[in-house]
Chains A and B, each alone.
Chain A
Amino acid sequence: MSRAVTAAELGLLRCHVCSQLSRAAASQREPRCPRCGAGLHLRKPSSVSRSWALLVAAMILYVPANTLPMMRTSSLFGSQSDTILSGVVYFWTSGSWYLALIIFFASIMVPMLKMIALVLLLVTVQRRSRWQVAQRARLYRLVELVGRWSMLDIYVVAVIVALVQLKALATITPGAGAIAFGSVVVLTMFAAMTFDPRLIWDASEDDNG
């Protein structure tokens, strides 16, 4: 088998929108895809620092997302606040253990594991590590795939708040936790999109060239 050659080594740019390969003319400062007109880059511009910025913001908001209430129930008998975790506990104790597991995974495990995975990917890329390259590439694929499922709790809040508005008996209002939680999901999705997985492989090419 011949040595692995990347498009970048040959000065070929791959369009991230339409996959077209093209060569940038030396005179062009901001090359554009000849087929679809999208801006071209060898690697996503300042991918690591942008991804870090979004990730740190998400980590900070993860704290209020888990401590502030997602929903507030007020009725004749008083009021009650529900965080994500107390929602999980509620389902667990009321016998719907499968729902408790779904929410626990989607709302607590997925965002946390996603942030840990992104930290791992960013740190190893910055250190130009050659450790477990194929496994890290697989990890990135997984992060991109599962991140969206964290939106689950936001939709639950939206539907329940819209339905439970019996002014006389009980009302459920959304809590500030929902804003923080929604921001965590959006920020981690952006952080994963900004990260360029090709950087994982770039380090392994340093020594065979």
Chain B
Amino acid sequence: MSVPLVACHECDLLQREVPLPEGGVARCGRCGAELYRDRPASLDRTLALAAGALLLFAIANSFPILGLALQGQVIHTTLYGAVHRLWDEDMKSVATLVFATTIAVPAIELSALAYLLLPVRLGRLPPHFTHVFRVLQAVRPWGMVEVFMLGVLVSLVKLAHLAGVVPGIALWSFAALMLLMAALTAVFDPRALWKAAGALARPAAPA
């Protein structure tokens, strides 16, 4: 095809793909949906944020989120501890839902990003690139770290009526993780990744 074309993902309108100024956004001429966006240094920034987020994710899952102090005794819970408790209470479906949206999906999302971007940045195409990319796109809507964070804050206020609430290390890590995940969504540009991967797959043929 001679002219590069894009189709709007919301209304299917066919449009010419134009180069954007720095930080520019291309919107669909008919429905206004975002077609693509210029994200400077997308691969480097995504990789940096993913590395930071993986570290925070590990901390957030190894330390208690909240503690409850009552009569000289403090009860802590980690996120996994909360999932485990729901499972024991015979709430297996709810436990699975919480586990999937706050632990499994963010873990898959972050490791998939690192797996795809690091080798590409170093000039190699990782094996099963397309499969991993498809998994990444499929799981992304189900990561809900920011909603979980709000849930923890609501619980904190609710429990403060009962007893002393002790915020744990994981609470701060989750707050920071939430910010990094939001930043990741803003800087990750799948178009740039495909372009870089395409150049690696066909090194001889210029696009």
Residues of A within 8 A of B (CB): 4-10, 12, 14, 16-21, 35-38, 91, 94, 96, 99, 102-103, 106, 134, 137-138, 140-141, 148-149, 151-166, 169, 173-174, 178-179, 182-183, 186, 189, 193, 197-198, 200-202
Contacts and interface: CB of A to CB of B under 8 A. Distances in A.
Nearest to A181: B94
Contact of B81 (A5, A148, A162): A162
A198 B11 CA distance: 4
Interface residues of B, number: 57
A37 to B, nearest CB: 5
A99 B159 CA distance: 13
Given A6-B14, A158-B94, A162-B85, A19 B190 contact: yes
B7 A182 contact: no
A6 B13 contact: yes
A163 B159 contact: yes
Contact of B130 (A10, A35, A140, A173): A35
B151 A152 contact: yes
B68 A163 contact: yes
B72 interface: no
A201 B190 contact: no
B10 A198 contact: yes
A96 B86 CA distance: 27
Contact of B70 (A18, A94, A138, A166): A166
